[in-house]
Structure 1
Amino acid sequence: MKSIGIVVTPGCWAMSLFAVTDFFRIVALLEKQAGLQPGYRVRLLANAPGKRLHAAGSHAIHTDACLEKAAPSDWLVFPAIEGPALGKTLAPSQEASAYLARHCETQRAVLSLSTGIVPLAATGLVNGLRINTHWAFLPTLQQRYTECHFRARESYLQDRWLYSTSSLHGSFDALLALLANDRGDHFAQLCAAHLLVSSPIQMRPVLPGTRRHDDAAILAVQEWLESNPQASLSLEQLASRFGFSERNLKRRFTLATGLAPHLYLQKVRIDRAKKLLISGALSVQQIAHQVGYENVSYFIRLFQREAGDTPAQWRKTNGAY
């Protein structure tokens, strides 16, 4: 069972904190319904003296342990912190910093939600890494932590073991990516379909490993393809839309994501098809058309090659409970 440590800093947003605990509650419910062994144990770790801290708005949060005395965690999550609290001293104690250093040295995952990166940035452990954060705080954070490379992108960024987000939706995207790496695509897709934050087809595709780069122009192409998987554009048309030559787009896109543009779009379409299969009663033919395939037989063959099952078999195995 993996241990998930949520680092609670005074002034953190309760909404950000409980979004993570609720995510893992959904995971636990789906594990139980699927007959799986529990895979995650969530603990709240206090990044301040005492086990009772106050979130933004003075809401009391009762933690399970102080950070410096906590058992090692497999994943650490840092909830977002409200603006007024960012001006205060948020650096962890010497003992807590040592705990964080041991975690980072072993390359175990860290997830920072928006401004939640501040306690970690104060330790110097993320110097040199690319970090996604809320656009409104980007200038302040970049000025304060000059050795970090802050960005304000949609969804999430991954740099080595650090996952960072700029928004609530990005938080779920990153959690789903971590879940997919750990429990596989099938279970992550099921979890995505059960999240109550938006229609499943409006969520980002679960494609771990494709956001480890810092090419803003390619990120824009990725996000457009993810929002418009049904679009029928040639590589030449796609390149023209974003001001690339065809050759340059293919080269940069493949270098950034590890996939050629047409293969990336293919995976985006199959991902959306999985969500539609889980969350609705549309026929396979209707789903094929919605994700951009007029030839249903071709869609079925492609889906089977990517997912290992036909769409009908995949729906039967992975349908909503």
Structure 2
Amino acid sequence: MAAFGLHEVLGDTGTNDQALSRPMHPKLVAHRRGPFRSSTGLMVTPDGGLNGDCADVIIICDIHLHHDDALDGRWPAEIEWVHRHIDHGSLVCSTCSGAVLLAEAGLLDGAEAASHWTMADLFRDRYPAVRFRPERILCDSGRGGQLITTGGASSWQDLALYLIGRFCGADEAARIARLFLLGDRGYGQLPFASMARPRQHSDAVISRIQEWLVDHYDTPAPVAVMVDRSGLSERSFKRRFSAATGYTPVEYVQALRIEEAKQMLETEDMGIEDISAAVGYEDPTFFRRLFKRRAGVTPAQYRQRNRLRSLPR
């Protein structure tokens, strides 16, 4: 859990003979006052509740969410606690899906925000005023640097180093990074991201096209074929497709093709040009540019990082 990792890393700041900065004193607080089990089964014993004095920094850690969870009115005490710290001038941070609580609190409207890439469809549908940045690991989310959001389950490490650097200096951040072997993730989250879950919808025509496209994404000029198969005018089809799925037809085809290319890069020995052609792109240069834009790395870099190797016999 991010909470335990943050507690250990931040708690080691400024504590030995090599440290040249003041120490941090992390505390774990929760709405529940007694020990409880987390969603992963770990026992959590808070140091205190939400009614104490305001802290210099608060961090909302990752939240276990199902796609059909009801969020209306879910965290009233926690949201009030966050607003109290914002009004106090505290630095308010979130890791991974913790940004959802900040979005529910209305603090991210009009700002950029990072969260786990699987939250993309939730932010798209429930928080349209938030400029969701799925490729970012750490994001200054406004209020003059008072809001920091991070993306990915292990992004608490980047947040820890950011906070140590901000409050204790670069030398101490470097020392902690060496001590805990906290590394760089300069490629961001996109190499690990998959196609966001399209919206559930009741448009039978668009559903039929989606089903057809699963096996025919490599069709030349696919959008024109999709329009023809739908029986709709091009304008009506594009409007209905976007309303139903949250993607334009072109974006949807590109996402499917790149996902298939990722699978091939992980499991096949085909050349990049052959993979490009197999997923529907005769121009490998265009394919490489598109792949890097959507995945954050080149096809060759993706293959190197994600190649599934056979276990030795």
What is the TM-score when the length of structure 1 is the normalising length? 0.51
Partner of 2:171: 186
Counterpart mapping for 1:33-182 below 5 A: 33-34=17-18, 38-46=22-30, 48-67=31-50, 69-84=51-66, 87-89=69-71, 91-94=74-77, 96-159=78-141, 160-182=145-167
Secondary structure of the 1:56 match is: coil
Residue-by-residue CA offset, 1:1-39 (whole Å, 9 max, x unaligned): xxxxxxxxxxxxxx22212112113325xx322365752
CA distance in 2, matches of 1:86, 1:49: 24
CA distance in 2, matches of 1:196, 1:23: 11
Secondary structure of the 1:121 match is: helix
Q: Answer whether contact 1:114 1:165 (CA < 8 A) is retained.
A: yes
**Displacement after TM superposition at 1:129 (Å):** 2.1
Q: Answer whether contact 1:132 1:152 (CA < 8 A) is retained.
A: yes
CA distance in 1, matches of 2:2, 2:67: 15
Residue-by-residue CA offset, 1:140-178 (whole Å, 9 max, x unaligned): 133122332222124211123111111245332232122
Partner of 1:220: none
Question: Where do 5+ consecutive residues of structure 1 fail to align?
Answer: 1-14, 205-240, 244-321
Percent of residue pairs identical: 19
**Displacement after TM superposition at 1:76 (Å):** 0.7
CA distance in 2, matches of 1:91, 1:34: 44
Q: Answer whether contact 1:132 1:150 (CA < 8 A) is retained.
A: yes
Cα RMSD of the aligned pairs, angstroms, is: 2.9
Partner of 2:6: 20
One-letter identity of the residue aligned with 1:165: T
Residue-by-residue CA offset, 1:87-117 (whole Å, 9 max, x unaligned): 25473335x4333212113442122111012
CA distance in 2, matches of 1:154, 1:24: 22
Secondary structure of the 2:36 match is: strand
**Displacement after TM superposition at 1:75 (Å):** 0.5
Q: 1:99 to 1:203 in 2, by over 3 A?
A: same
One-letter identity of the residue aligned with 1:193: R
Partner of 1:233: none
Aligned length: 186
Q: Answer whether contact 2:117 2:152 (CA < 8 A) is retained.
A: no
One-letter identity of the residue aligned with 1:123: A
Q: Answer whether contact 2:54 2:88 (CA < 8 A) is retained.
A: no
Q: 1:115 to 1:203 in 2, by over 3 A?
A: closer
Q: Answer whether contact 2:11 2:26 (CA < 8 A) is retained.
A: no
Q: Answer whether contact 1:52 1:61 (CA < 8 A) is retained.
A: yes
Larger Rg: 2
